[in-house]
Amino acid sequence: MFVDDPKEAHDTDVSAVAALDEPTRRRLYDHVVRQSGPVSRDEAATALGLARQTAAFHLDRLADESLLDVVYERRSGRTGPGAGRPAKLYRRSTKQIAVSLPDRRYELAGRLLAQAIEESEATGEPVRTALHRKAEELGTQLGQQGKTGVFELLERHGFEPRHERDAIVLANCPFHTLAREHAQTVCGMNLHLLRGVLDGLGESGFEACLAPEPGRCCVRLEPAA
């Protein structure tokens, strides 16, 4: 659910979005995604009145940023010797790119909630109980895979941790809008997610507790009693 290095993925998405700031590149991207099938360099250049070399340069840049996928097809319809080389074609990438500042993880919350509903329907377990369990299981996995300290792991996943005396406060909630509208559900999910993180890391020096404050995540890590 979380990628191995979400900060690196976030930086990659920012770079991809920034690539669309160039006007010609944006026109080419918009042209390609409006077509029903893959587009060649020549077709794109002709459609937009560009030099072929210019179209090729920008199309390849869009492919390098994973905004477009590259496929190769023979447009002649022939096969075998004499059929010619396959043409390099471009189509919309299957990769989803989203950039949010501050960092938000609404897809993660949606997946955990969907899993909880499905398990509740299958087993009769209360949805909230299933949600807490699934969140804690995921947190444990993140902690076990983290190979780092708790502060670094929380930073990597968008919580923006800050030291406050002996505690760690979280300046950003990755589920901010959901938490504002459904505080009991989302904050409980987040609490168990972070309890799982501590457990997965084997971190006994802190405990996750609910401590909602304006402008912060509802969970903070207090020194263990």
Q: What is the pLDDT of residue 10?
A: 60
Q: What is the pLDDT of residue 8?
A: 62
Beta carbons within 10 angstroms of residue 171's beta carbon: 12
Structural domains of the chain in order of their starting residue, each with its CATH number: 6-92 (1.10.10.10), 106-223 (3.30.1380)
Closest listed residue to residue 26, CA positions, set 64, 66, 86, 67: 67
Q: State pLDDT tens for residues 47-68.
A: 999 999 999 999 999 999 889 9
| Torsion over CA: 172, 175, 178, 181 (sign) | negative
At 223 the three-state DSSP class reads: strand
Closest listed residue to residue 188, CA positions, set 214, 162, 158, 219: 219
Q: What is the pLDDT of residue 46?
A: 96
- For residues 37 and 50, the answer to whether their CB atoms sit within 8 Å is no
> Which residue type sits at 91?
R
Q: What is the pLDDT of residue 225?
A: 82
**Would you place residue 94 in the very low, low, confident or very high pLDDT band (cuts 50, 70, 90)?**
confident
Distances (CA, A) of 149 to 5, 185, 197, 206: 14, 27, 10, 12
Overall average pLDDT of the 83-112 stretch: 81
| Torsion over CA: 113, 115, 121, 124 (sign) | negative
219 bridge partner residues: 210
Tokens at residue 143, please? 């902690």
**Would you place residue 77 in the very low, low, confident or very high pLDDT band (cuts 50, 70, 90)?**
low
The pTM (predicted TM-score) of the whole model is: 0.67
Distances (CA, A) of 74 to 19, 28, 100, 202, 224: 29, 22, 40, 56, 65
Q: What is the pLDDT of residue 3?
A: 45
Q: What is the pLDDT of residue 19?
A: 82
Residue 37: DSSP 8-state: S
Q: Which residue has the higher pLDDT, 148 or 219?
A: 219
Q: Which residues contact 210 (CB under 8 A, 6 or more apart)?
A: 187, 191, 218, 219
Overall average pLDDT of the 169-198 stretch: 94
Q: What is the pLDDT of residue 148?
A: 86
- For residues 149 and 198, the answer to whether their CB atoms sit within 8 Å is no
Q: State pLDDT tens for residues 124-182.
A: 999 999 999 999 999 999 999 877 899 999 998 889 999 999 999 999 999 999 999 99
The yes-or-no verdict on residue 6 having pLDDT over 90 is no
Task: State the first-to-last Cα distance of the chain, in angstroms, to the nearest integer.
Answer: 32
The yes-or-no verdict on residue 33 having pLDDT over 80 is yes
- For residues 141 and 201, the answer to whether their CB atoms sit within 8 Å is no
The yes-or-no verdict on residue 45 having pLDDT over 70 is yes
Distances (CA, A) of 90 to 63, 97, 98: 8, 17, 21
The yes-or-no verdict on residue 221 having pLDDT over 90 is yes
Q: Which residue has the higher pLDDT, 55 or 82?
A: 55
Pairwise CA distance, residues 179 & 160, whole Å = 17
Q: What is the pLDDT of residue 1?
A: 44
The yes-or-no verdict on residue 90 having pLDDT over 90 is yes
